[in-house]
């Protein structure tokens, strides 16, 4: 019976990832393919144009600051369902093993001296105001996969050196950071940067590495704008067997699946709450919070907006409804495979 | 000639004798290049000890037999040899002694032996769990390579440096101690500039009882953290000199260290090493926690700096650079969030001293209780050109070597478990 169930989960939810890695096309549909993809990524040579860096320090706009962070990419073993229960349906989490090798961004102290937090998906949330320059000291700390990775931001302004994108022979300095190397990105926060945006790997093996967890959030506000009392970011993404080596696909928020393991959001009545939901796989999702409505960018009330890959929807509201609520993606095959969690509002 | 220029001439002339004078001739420095790929196995493990139970009685013989990626395990004992690991054929070699009690695997110099362990042109070699004592030059010396690990090492009474990396890229110095060294207990120098730097980490080391706890001529991309530098004449000294390539010191981070009681006046008494009357060590302003002698983009933050009779942190133009004037100016250095003076119970002579040289050097005044100049005028200019004062610099030059004692704020230190102040040895 177990074998039948496992086969069902695998067949029902495992989709091959088609990755183009430095000129090689690799279809990743099982663990062997994963090794082949990593080997292909390790073979990608540094493009000539990606070597030089002679960019002066970019100064912030008047009133802005240079906000420096140190972020290291590295592999880590993470559990998808640490609670081992689906609290929504009050059952054990189906699907057997749940630990896998993720690829994550970790915030560190200056000079990469020490970790600030444990490994997690997503990476650190970078916050800034318009006029600031985000100065990201990035280190490829991977010692196992032996491939270049990067940080590519959405939403902010940058010159080609700081794009963080591998583009073959057109690759610039920030688009190929080999294992052990560091690179400092400078991203300008301009008035059109206001909002919540993803950043992610865009190196030679970006599709696979993004699926493994190399992504995070940038939040930019107008100068002096009031920050919400509570701010959360939820990445909707899947962890399929070819990426994890596990027996089934998990539909996740922030690297975890099923209420009890996904982030538990909390607030109090009267608080200003802001939740950003961002898509980080190849699917479209929706973001639904039970018992709550909010206005979208056009001013209309919504409670289940749709968002696609690397797209953000933001729910901001003044909390007025205490209780234990579900949040989830309303694509049914996602919510029932783990893309759900708790939102707890205290009176 | 002005007083300042006269003093500078004297200082530069005193550097004519480099720290390695009298040492053996080393291989010419060469660009380390990209790190070599790990060798394919299978790899072998060899053992070394005094008895016939082991594969070899000599570490060097085991090294000579080993191939890239092999492991050599050295049992407890005293080994009177100078080990050389040379060339790419020895890359990724692991030389393992006693990690928990490094002093049990002792390399003891005999005659004119120069280095306890000398690694040249072999990437990613690991040396772990040894003590080196009495060598003419250095305890552990790595050069011309990309990537290394020095771990659980002790260097005592070595002739120039204790743990030493020169012309290297990347690497780790971890969990080690060096003391009674006649120049720098630890030293990283002449790091080649890199477009995408591979950083070096120095963590949990102790450098003490020496002219310099950590010397760093033209050092780059090094993070020094969770370490202790105490009872030296000068705790840590990122500096810029013509005697090595690629000045100045650049993009180093000194964070979360204890830097205290650096008042060891080795010019007096009978220190347990041969005192150098010339060179960098002789110029170290006795009583200083950290000295930035030139430098760009260095950060000194979140350290605990106390009980240094002259100063906690000193920043001064790279005045000893005669051949590289473009590299003299201090630029983009940051000194912030340090805890000075142990809550007022063990103050520094001055928490900060700065001649105002350069541009965009930024000093946080949070927690600073004393500075030179007293009016703080040279500390202005964060974000632009700083406020240079020739008079302040002239005074600072006067505080080189023992000249610093004239400005000392000498006082008793509160007790610190496991430590005793060292100011004059054997008097």
Task: Give which of B377, B298, B365 is closest to B331, Cα–Cα.
Answer: B298
In chain B, where the domains are located: 3-19+160-407
Note if the bond before B34 is cis, omega within 30 degrees.
Answer: no
Cβ contacts of residue A131 below 8 Å, gap of 6+? A60, A61, A62, A63, A64, A189, A223
- In Å, what is the CA distance from B421 to each residue of A198, A309, B415? 53, 62, 9
Q: CA geometry: angle at B424 spanning B421 and B427, to 5°?
A: 125
What is the ipTM score, two decimals? 0.89
In this complex, do A113 and B256 lie within 8 Å of one another by their Cβ atoms? yes
Q: What is the pLDDT of residues A208-229, one digit of tens each?
A: 999 999 999 999 999 999 999 9
**Residue A5's pLDDT is what?**
38
- Residue B364 forms contact with A (CB below 8 Å): no
Specify the higher pLDDT residue, B161 or B30: B161
Distances in whole angstroms, Cα of residue B55 to Cα of each of A73, B52, B108, B375, B413? 41, 7, 21, 68, 52
- For chain A, the first-to-last Cα distance in angstroms comes to 46
* pLDDT 10s digits, B60-101: 999 999 999 999 999 999 999 999 999 999 999 999 999 999
Asked, as a colleague might, if the bond just before B373 is cis with ω within 30 of 0, I would say yes
Cα of B223 to nearest chain A Cα, Å: 6
Label residue A53 by pLDDT band (50, 70, 90). low
pLDDT in tens, A241-289: 999 999 999 999 999 999 999 999 999 999 999 999 999 999 999 999 9
Asked whether the beta carbons of residue B196 and residue A173 sit closer than 8 angstroms, the reply is yes
Query: Where are the extended beta strands (E) located within A80-194?
Result: 85-86, 91-92, 99-108, 125-129, 133-140, 152-153, 182-188
Whether A109 sits inside 8 A of B302 (CB atoms) is yes
> A27 has which bridge partners?
A18
Contact A133, A66 (CB under 8 A): yes
3-state SS, residue A160: helix
- A53 to chain B nearest CA, in Å? 6
pLDDT band at B8 (very low <50, low <70, confident <90, very high): low
In chain B, residues with a C-beta closer than 8 Å to the C-beta of A183 are 196
Q: Mind listing the pLDDT tens digit for each residue in A304-347?
A: 999 999 999 999 999 999 999 999 999 999 999 999 999 999 99
Q: What's the pLDDT at B306?
A: 98
Q: What is the pLDDT of residues A149-188, one digit of tens each?
A: 999 999 999 999 999 999 999 999 999 999 999 999 999 9
Q: What is the mean pLDDT of residues B107-122?
A: 97
Query: Within 10 A of A250 (CB to CB), how many other CB atoms are there?
Result: 27
Is the pLDDT at B298 greater than 90, yes or no? yes
In this complex, how many residue pairs, one in chain A and one in chain B, have their CB atoms less than 8 Å apart?
52
Closest chain B residue to A59 measured between Cα atoms?
B383
Q: Is the minimum CB–CB distance between B226 and chain A shorter than 8 Å?
A: yes
Question: Residue B371: is its pLDDT beyond 90?
Answer: yes
Helix B390-397 vs helix B3-14: angle between axes, to the nearest 10 degrees?
40
pLDDT in tens, A95-104: 788 999 999 9
Percent with pLDDT over 90 in chain B: 88
Domains recognised in chain A with CATH numbers: 2-49 (no CATH), 66-346 (2.60.40.420)
d(CA A27, CA A47) in angstroms, rounded, equals: 24
- Which has more confidence, B51 or A53? B51
- Does pLDDT of A299 surpass 60? yes
Integer Cα distance of A215 and B95 in angstroms? 39
Give B141-166 as a 3 state SS string: EEEEEECEEEEEEEEECCCCEEEEEE
Task: Check A180 against B301: CB less than 8 A apart.
Answer: no
pLDDT one-digit tens code per residue, A12-33? 345 678 888 887 888 888 778 8
CA distance B239 to B296: 10
Output the pLDDT for position A33: 86
- Give chain B positions within 8 Å (CB) of A161: none
Answer whether residue A8 shows pLDDT above 50: no
**Would the CB atoms of A113 and B225 count as touching at under 8 Å?**
yes
What pLDDT, on the 0 to 100 scale, is given for residue B114? 97
Per-residue model confidence (pLDDT) at position A4:
42
User: Rounded CA gap, A220 and A131, in Å?
Assistant: 10
More confidently predicted of A310 and B21: A310
pLDDT at B36: 84
pLDDT at position B5? 62
Cα dihedral: B26, B27, B29, B35 (round 10): -120
**HEC profile of A236-302:** EEEECHHHHCCCCCEEEECCECCCCCCCCEEEECCCEEEEEEEECCCCCEECEECCCCEECCCCCEE
pTM of the model: 0.92
Asked if the Cβ–Cβ distance from A111 to B252 is below 8 Å, we say: yes
Of B195, B221, B255, nearest to A113 by CB-CB distance is: B255
- Highest average pLDDT, of A32-41, B28-37, B258-267, comes from B258-267
How close, in Å, is residue B362 to chain A by CA atoms?
A: 13
Across the interface, whether the CB atoms of A139 and B199 are under 8 A apart is answered yes
Contact B197 A112 (CB under 8 A): no
Are the beta carbons of B223 and A183 separated by less than 8 Å? no
Query: Which residue from A52, A53, A111 is facing B223, i.e. has the nearest CB?
Result: A111
Q: Look at residue B16 and tell me whether its pLDDT is greater than 80.
A: no
Please write the tens of the pLDDT for every residue from A126-151: 999 999 999 999 999 998 899 999 99
User: At residue B21, does pLDDT exceed 50?
Assistant: no
Q: B161 burial class (0-12, 13-18, 19+ CB within 10 angstroms)?
A: buried
- Closest C-alpha to B47, from B61, B29, B33: B61
- Give the least confident one: A221-230, B27-36, B299-308, B344-353: B27-36
- Is B95 in CB contact (< 8 Å) with chain A? no
Q: Is there a contact between A110 and B197 if contact means CB atoms under 8 Å apart?
A: no
Mean pLDDT value of segment B373-391: 94
Q: How confident is the model at residue B6 (pLDDT cuts 50, 70, 90)?
A: low
Nearest-Cα distance to chain B for A26, in Å, is 24
Contact B183, B163 (CB under 8 A): no
Are A114 and B256 an interchain contact pair (Cβ–Cβ within 8 Å)?
yes
Pairing of strands B148-156, B171-174: parallel
pLDDT for the residue A32: 82
């Amino acid at each position: 019976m177990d074998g039948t169930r496992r086969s069902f989960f695998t067949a029902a939810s495992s989709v091959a990832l088609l990755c183009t890695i430095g000129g090689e096309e690799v279809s990743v549909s099982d663990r062997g393919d994963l090794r082949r993809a990593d080997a292909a990524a390790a073979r990608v040579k540094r493009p000539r144009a990606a070597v030089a860096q002679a960019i002066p320090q970019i100064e912030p706009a008047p009133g802005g600051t240079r906000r420096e962070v140190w972020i290291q990419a590295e592999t880590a073993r993470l559990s998808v369902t640490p609670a081992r229960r689906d609290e929504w349906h009050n059952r054990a989490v189906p699907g057997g093993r749940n630990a896998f090798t993720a690829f994550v961004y970790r915030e560190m102290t200056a000079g990469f001296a020490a970790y600030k937090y444990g490994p997690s998906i997503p990476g650190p949330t970078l916050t800034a105001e318009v006029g600031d320059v985000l100065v990201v000291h990035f280190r490829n700390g991977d010692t196992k996969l032996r491939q270049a990775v990067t940080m590519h931001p959405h939403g902010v302004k940058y010159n080609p050196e700081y794009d963080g994108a591998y583009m073959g022979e057109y690759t610039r300095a920030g688009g190929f950071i080999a294992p052990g190397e560091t690179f400092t990105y400078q991203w300008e926060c301009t008035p059109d940067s206001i909002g919540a945006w993803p950043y992610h790997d865009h190196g030679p093996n970006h599709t696979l590495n993004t699926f493994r967890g190399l992504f995070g959030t940038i939040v930019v506000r107008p100068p002096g704008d009031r920050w919400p009392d509570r701010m959360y970011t939820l990445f909707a993404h899947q962890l399929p067997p070819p990426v994890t080596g596990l027996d089934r696909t998990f539909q996740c928020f922030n690297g975890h699946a099923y209420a009890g393991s996904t982030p538990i959001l909390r607030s109090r009545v009267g608080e200003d709450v802001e939740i950003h939901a961002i898509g980080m796989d190849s699917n479209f999702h929706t973001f639904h919070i039970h018992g709550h409505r909010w206005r979208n960018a056009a001013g209309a009330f919504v409670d289940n907006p749709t968002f696609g890959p690397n797209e953000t929807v933001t729910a901001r509201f003044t909390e007025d409804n205490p209780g234990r609520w579900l949040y989830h993606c309303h694509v049914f095959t996602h919510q029932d495979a783990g893309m759900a969690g708790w939102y707890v509002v205290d009176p | 000639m002005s007083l300042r220029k006269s003093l500078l001439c004297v200082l530069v002339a005193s550097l004519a004798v480099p720290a390695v004078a009298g040492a053996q001739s080393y291989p010419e420095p060469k660009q380390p290049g990209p790190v070599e790929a790990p060798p394919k196995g299978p790899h072998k493990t060899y053992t070394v000890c005094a008895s016939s139970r082991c594969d070899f009685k000599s570490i060097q013989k085991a090294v000579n037999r080993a191939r890239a990626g092999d492991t050599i395990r050295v049992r407890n004992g005293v080994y009177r040899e100078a080990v050389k690991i040379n060339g790419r054929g020895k890359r990724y070699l692991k030389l393992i002694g006693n990690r928990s009690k490094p002093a049990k695997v002792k390399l003891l110099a005999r005659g004119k032996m120069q280095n306890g362990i000398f690694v040249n042109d072999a990437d990613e070699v690991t040396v772990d769990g040894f003590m080196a004592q009495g060598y003419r030059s250095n305890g552990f010396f790595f050069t011309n390579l990309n990537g290394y690990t020095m771990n659980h090492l002790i260097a005592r009474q070595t002739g120039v440096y204790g743990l030493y990396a020169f012309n290297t890229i990347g690497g780790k110095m971890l969990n080690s101690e060096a003391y009674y060294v006649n120049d720098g207990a630890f030293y990283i120098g002449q790091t080649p500039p890199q477009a995408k730097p591979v950083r070096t980490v120095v963590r949990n080391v102790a450098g003490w009882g020496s002219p310099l706890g950590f010397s760093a001529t033209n050092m780059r991309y090094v993070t020094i953290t969770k370490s202790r530098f105490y009872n030296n004449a000068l705790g840590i000294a990122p500096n810029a000199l013509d005697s090595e390539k690629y000045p100045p010191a650049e993009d180093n981070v000194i964070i979360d260290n204890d830097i205290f009681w650096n008042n060891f006046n080795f010019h007096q008494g009978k220190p347990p090493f041969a005192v150098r009357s010339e060179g960098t060590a002789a110029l170290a302003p006795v009583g200083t926690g950290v000295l930035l002698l030139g430098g760009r983009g260095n950060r000194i933050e979140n350290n605990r700096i106390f009980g240094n009779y002259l100063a906690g942190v000193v920043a001064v133009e790279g005045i000893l650079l005669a051949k590289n004037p473009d590299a003299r100016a201090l630029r983009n250095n940051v000194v912030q969030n340090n805890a000075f003076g142990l809550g007022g119970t063990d103050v520094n002579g001055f928490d900060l001293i700065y001649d105002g040289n350069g541009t965009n050097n930024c000093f946080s005044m949070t927690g600073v209780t004393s500075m030179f100049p007293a009016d703080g005028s040279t500390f202005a200019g964060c974000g632009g050109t700083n406020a240079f004062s020739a008079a302040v610099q002239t005074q600072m030059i006067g505080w080189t070597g023992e000249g610093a004692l004239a400005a000392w704020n000498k006082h008793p230190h509160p007790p610190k478990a496991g430590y005793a102040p060292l100011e004059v040895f054997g008097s």
